A and B are shown apart, each in its own frame.
Chain A
């Protein structure tokens, strides 16, 4: 892939669990073409999967009439991924999961998706749609030229 030429790839997923794997495969293929290391591609796949699961389950509430948009934009030194749904977005970020609280029944065992997204990519932001829908999460993963 030419590094000087911005390239965009778009995928639309049905709001059905399991289809996040289509986005994972696409993101993996684009990242490979860009020259990302294998471990960073694995990080990206998990972050994209969790973003799509949130969009399918919470944004579109598993309504199969709605689709999840995934837009991958390859820049010179980074890959941006936007995952777009028809939800209202989030007002507040959930607290960081605490395994001790989970083990003691003080916190739901679920609820780690957003934490994983933030931990695995270089940038993550959640943007609420201005019309009360079309919210998105934007992820950025950068090519680390020093170690690549």
Chain B
């Protein structure tokens, strides 16, 4: 019933010249998304991927289990010296991420261009 979460990684360079791993998600982010969210993140070599940008622009539904997966990713990233950013959340999920405190640990941007300009 839940739509499968698709994910892929693009390696880009910010205007300031920093390498950025962009994790692009598509579909629902829920309890069934562990492999797509955490698995994809954990597949990135931590030593060479210090900046991680999450793309939620093709995600329609995120529930509390999905938010918990994002928090687990933030914990792993913090422990590995990585910095996580995100873009493409709807106004509603921007509000939800702010309410649960994720914005203390991951800056949110409207678009990829805005996000990369800040990195």
Contact = CB atoms under 8 A, between A and B. Distances in A.
A21 B61 contact: yes
B105 A99 contact: yes
Given A39-B91, A39-B92, A46-B92, A99 B71 contact: yes
Contacts of A50: 63-64
* Interface SS of B by simple majority: helix
Interface in B86-119: 90-92, 96, 99-102, 104-105
Contacts of A98: 101
Interface SS of chain A: helix, strand, loop or mixed?
helix
Contacts, number: 74
Contact of A103 (B65, B75, B92, B96): B75
A19 interface: yes
A110 B75 CA distance: 13
B32 interface: yes
B7 interface: no
B1 A115 contact: no
12 contacts: A17-B30, A17-B31, A42-B91, A46-B92, A46-B96, A53-B63, A53-B65, A97-B100, A99-B71, A112-B64, A113-B63, A116-B64
Interface of A: 16-21, 39, 42-43, 46, 49-50, 53, 97-100, 102-103, 105, 108-113, 115-116, 119
Given A105-B75, A115-B100, 20 more contacts: A16-B1, A17-B32, A39-B91, A39-B92, A42-B91, A42-B92, A46-B92, A46-B96, A50-B63, A97-B100, A97-B101, A99-B71, A99-B104, A103-B78, A109-B68, A109-B71, A109-B72, A109-B75, A112-B68, A113-B64
